[in-house]
Amino acid sequence: MRTTSVNHFILETLQDSQTHLNAHQVYEQVRQRLPSLNPSTVYRALERLALAGKISVSDMGCGAVVYEAVGGCRHHHLVCHGCGAVITLGDDLVRGWFAQVEAGHHFQVATNHLVLFGYCEACRQKGEGQEQSLWEA
């Protein structure tokens, strides 16, 4: 099996997905098209694709890192610790802050997918996440 075909099918799977996928989910979906596929081949391909900047790797708080194809509009997420809700943020809210960090600290930000954890409004109304915010300390 050629590496390029595995990379192609992984990228296609991630581009067609409407959500983030963990490595096992990627493996299961690609294996439907490449039955002789080995899980270790998928892990190596995911690492190569991430290093090449073709996919993003994120910790969305679900116990395993998740992958997403890079392309289209860059976006970021807010993840609720209470209910697991994921809110998508446009890059315009974050891009300016990244530029300030880079300019103010002479630092090049390599992050292409920011994930912030907290509590959504519904969970806060139920009394979850009532501890003092880090920003209020």
Question: What's the whole-number average pLDDT of the chain?
Answer: 88
**Fold classification of 1-71 (topology level):** Arc Repressor Mutant, subunit A (1.10.10)
* Kind of pairing between the strands at 66-69 and 55-58: antiparallel
> What strands, in cross-sheet order, belong to the sheet with 66-69?
21-22, 66-69, 55-58
Tokens representing 124 are 């806060």
130 closest CA partner among 121, 99, 52: 121
Pick the CATH number of 73-137 from 3.30.1490.190, 3.90.180.10, 3.40.50.2300, 2.40.50.140: 3.30.1490.190
Please check the confidence at residue 136 and state whether its pLDDT lies above 70.
Answer: no
Any idea where the domains of the chain sit in the sequence? 1-71, 73-137
Q: What is the tens place of the pLDDT at every residue in 70-111?
A: 876 788 899 999 998 999 898 888 899 999 999 999 999 888
CB-CB contact of 9 with 49 (8 Å) = no
pLDDT value, residue 61:
84
pLDDT value, residue 2:
57
Please check the confidence at residue 1 and state whether its pLDDT lies above 60.
Answer: no
More confident residue, 93 or 134: 93
Q: What is the tens place of the pLDDT at every residue in 44-73?
A: 999 999 999 899 899 888 889 999 998 767
pLDDT value, residue 35:
93
Residues making up the chain, counted from first to last:
137
